Amino acid sequence: MRGLMQDWPLLIHKAIDYAALQFGSREVVTRSVEGPIVRTTYGAIRGRALKGAQRLVRDGVKPGDRVATLAWNTWRHLEAWYAITGAGGVYHTVNPRLFPDQIVWIVNHAEDRVLMADLTFVPLLEKIADRLPTVERYVILTDAAHMPATGLRGAVDYESWIASADGDFRWVEVDERDAAGLCYTSGTTGDPKGVLYSHRSNLLHSLGCNTPDGLAIAARDAVLPVVPLFHANSWSLAFTCPMVGAKLVLPGSKLDGASLHELFETEEVTFTAGVPTVWIGLLAHMRSRGARFSTLKRLFVGGSAFPASLIAAFETEFGLSVSHAWGMTEMSPIGTFGAMKPAFASLSGEALWARKALQGYAPFGVDIKIVGDDGKPMPWDGAAFGRLLVAGFAVTKGYFKGAGGDVLDADGFFDTGDVATIDPDGYVRITDRSKDVIKSGGEWISSIDVENAAVGCPGVVEAAVIGVAHPKWTERPLLIVVPDKAKPPTREAVLDHLRPRIAKWWLPDDVQFVDEIPHTATGKISKLTLRERFKDYRLPG
């Protein structure tokens, strides 16, 4: 017998409909690409998104068509998402930090029909447009006054484009399982692969993550997502905030410590989320200016590991509560939260920060397991390293157009490509990407553990560990350090700092100092580039 409850569809436009009705005057504030701070409301955003959807339909966009966005976090980008999905289309977020050739590749693979871009990216698009045959129209996310003269096909400024619609429109009807968003993984090897979110997966992900031990965002919060709309769905914050009526503060293109701190203060931000490199920049700014946070309380970090020493710095010097999250594009993206289970509620000091430096435990809706090379589950003992596999309502079951073939195991789990331990309390510790694991004498060394420990050494700004070929041990770890120019540490000081903190045989065989560590388009340390750079390096002795 079937239940008799309504099949209320989990559609993205429901989030903005709700916000407009219940929180119509709640503000969305942007540091615009043009410069000034722009203030709008959820009510106005819904009205303009309806016009955008109407225009897309008039321009011939059909359900399932892809519309690309190449844009910073702004209110127009947010409206574009709701307009695209409200027209039945699929928002395809393009990461502007990719190389032009990669952008060409993914726009062609996605067969985007319309491309909406910030002013910032017009020169880039002009260089590549003749290689983007599927794009029929470029909508530049600005107004007529700022619109540059451009030969881009069908180019129109966003404000004039939506002004030609009256907004007398109903969202196009789609099924909750229909595609809503498309985001390509950075693909360090091989071609990028498209992750295709559905309306249902996006809304369930938002609901599943906004629990008291998860993001815990409430109507009274003012949220500044540094995590971009163009990468990993901005952690669903573009849906979660309207779904609860939180104020949104969007930083545009300025993500340096000073610009962010100014917005935190002027807009009374209470919650923020970003990747470690952004927080390292903010910390340096705060320290150098002796600055304080008046309203900011919670800082979420993910995308790469965040060492205990940095968590401690934000908590003790600046009074924030830092939460670690782990996830990936294929998981919409959140997979674990570093909340404290009751057994750890009274932890403080070093013990607390050490636990917070773990990636955390999976919330409801995310099933996890670690497996050995034979695919068999490994114990949750905090020691056994295994490949981390996941399943859930917001986890991918295959890539766009079948790229990569069948990606699930016999039980429907997706291989994250990460290597991890899980402790008896369910806390995950990501030790490496599987392709970055260092195998020494048949055992695995966790590069992330060594990096985290190294960053705690005075004078170390950033650290990366790679494996270097060794005649006896197969590979040995090499530590690469960006020193603080004002007080650079010596090689011995770094190794002495590490000795009591990691297993003896994990101690790097050498330390190399560099001016800068390369990062990928998504802000992660690029081990591939480092391995390339150090390919001729020979370990001492």
Q: How many residues does the chain have?
A: 541
Residue with tokens 């001016």: 515
Strand 414-422 and strand 428-433: the pairing is antiparallel
Site string for ligand AMP, 477-516 (x = CB under 6 A): ----------------------------------------
Phi, psi of 239 (to 5 degrees): -100, -45
Please choose, from the candidates 452, 417, 453, the residue with its C-alpha nearest in 3D space to the C-alpha of residue 436: 417
Q: 244 vs 390, which CB is nearer to ligand AMP?
A: 390
Q: 13 vs 324, which CB is nearer to ligand AMP?
A: 324
Rounded to the nearest angstrom, the gap between the alpha carbon of residue 529 and the centroid of all alpha carbons in its chain is 21
Stretch that binds ligand AMP, among 69-77, 110-118, 200-208, 324-332 (CB under 6 A): 324-332
97 belongs to the binding site for ligand AMP (CB under 6 A): no
Please choose, from the candidates 337, 305, 351, the residue with its C-alpha nearest in 3D space to the C-alpha of residue 454: 305
Q: 86 vs 228, which CB is nearer to ligand AMP?
A: 228
Q: Which of 153, 254, 285, 433 binds ligand AMP (CB under 6 A)?
A: 433
Phi, psi of 412 (to 5 degrees): 85, 20
418 belongs to the binding site for ligand AMP (CB under 6 A): yes
Stretch that binds ligand AMP, among 30-38, 88-96, 287-295, 414-422 (CB under 6 A): 414-422
Q: 174 vs 183, which CB is nearer to ligand AMP?
A: 183
Stretch that binds ligand AMP, among 106-114, 205-213, 266-274, 410-418 (CB under 6 A): 410-418
333 belongs to the binding site for ligand AMP (CB under 6 A): yes
299 within 8 A of 325, measured Cβ to Cβ: no
Q: 137 vs 527, which CB is nearer to ligand AMP?
A: 527
Q: 10 vs 430, which CB is nearer to ligand AMP?
A: 430
Site string for ligand AMP, 150-189 (x = CB under 6 A): -----------------------------------xx---
The 8-class DSSP code of residue 136 comes to -
85 belongs to the binding site for ligand AMP (CB under 6 A): no
- The per-residue DSSP string of 180-215 comes to EEEEE---SSSS--EEEEEHHHHHHHHHHH-STTTT
Q: Which of 142, 304, 421, 440 binds ligand AMP (CB under 6 A)?
A: 304
Q: Give 79's strand partners.
A: none
305 belongs to the binding site for ligand AMP (CB under 6 A): yes
Instruction: Determine the Cα–Cα distance for residues 474 and 478; give it in Å rounded to an integer.
Output: 13
Instruction: Determine the Cα–Cα distance for residues 58 and 63; give it in Å rounded to an integer.
Output: 13
Stretch that binds ligand AMP, among 83-91, 114-122, 250-258, 297-305 (CB under 6 A): 297-305
Please choose, from the candidates 327, 396, 400, the residue with its C-alpha nearest in 3D space to the C-alpha of residue 362: 327
Q: 142 vs 234, which CB is nearer to ligand AMP?
A: 234
The 8-class DSSP code of residue 363 comes to P
Instruction: Determine the Cα–Cα distance for residues 244 and 223; give it in Å rounded to an integer.
Output: 11
Tokens of 378: 């490994």
Q: How far is the CB of 10 from ligand AMP (least distance, A)?
A: 23
Q: 178 vs 330, which CB is nearer to ligand AMP?
A: 330
396 belongs to the binding site for ligand AMP (CB under 6 A): no
Q: How far is the CB of 373 from ligand AMP (least distance, A)?
A: 19
- Angle among Cα 157, 97, 49 to the nearest 5 degrees reads 35
Q: How far is the CB of 81 from ligand AMP (least distance, A)?
A: 18
Q: How far is the CB of 298 from ligand AMP (least distance, A)?
A: 16
Stretch that binds ligand AMP, among 84-92, 245-253, 326-334, 362-370 (CB under 6 A): 326-334
Sign of the dihedral through C-alpha 233, 239, 241, 242: positive
310 within 8 A of 283, measured Cβ to Cβ: yes
The 8-class DSSP code of residue 340 comes to P
232 belongs to the binding site for ligand AMP (CB under 6 A): yes
Q: 240 vs 416, which CB is nearer to ligand AMP?
A: 416
Residues 444-473 that bind ligand AMP (CB under 6 A): none
Stretch that binds ligand AMP, among 252-260, 298-306, 397-405, 461-469 (CB under 6 A): 298-306
Q: CB neighbours (10 Å) of residue 68?
A: 28
Q: How far is the CB of 273 from ligand AMP (least distance, A)?
A: 12
What distances in angstroms separate CA 497 from CA 217, 424, 459, 493, 502, one per listed residue?
38, 29, 11, 6, 10
CB burial of residue 273 (10 Å; 0-12, 13-18, 19+): buried
194 belongs to the binding site for ligand AMP (CB under 6 A): no
Residue with tokens 């965002």: 217
Q: Which of 416, 421, 440, 446 binds ligand AMP (CB under 6 A)?
A: 416
Q: How far is the CB of 352 from ligand AMP (least distance, A)?
A: 17
- Which are the catalytic amino acids? 185, 330, 439, 444
- Angle among Cα 216, 221, 224 to the nearest 5 degrees reads 95
Q: Which of 328, 366, 389, 525 binds ligand AMP (CB under 6 A)?
A: 328
Rounded to the nearest angstrom, the gap between the alpha carbon of residue 142 and the centroid of all alpha carbons in its chain is 25
Residues that bind ligand AMP (CB under 6 A): 185-186, 232, 302-305, 324, 326-329, 333, 359, 416-418, 430, 433, 522
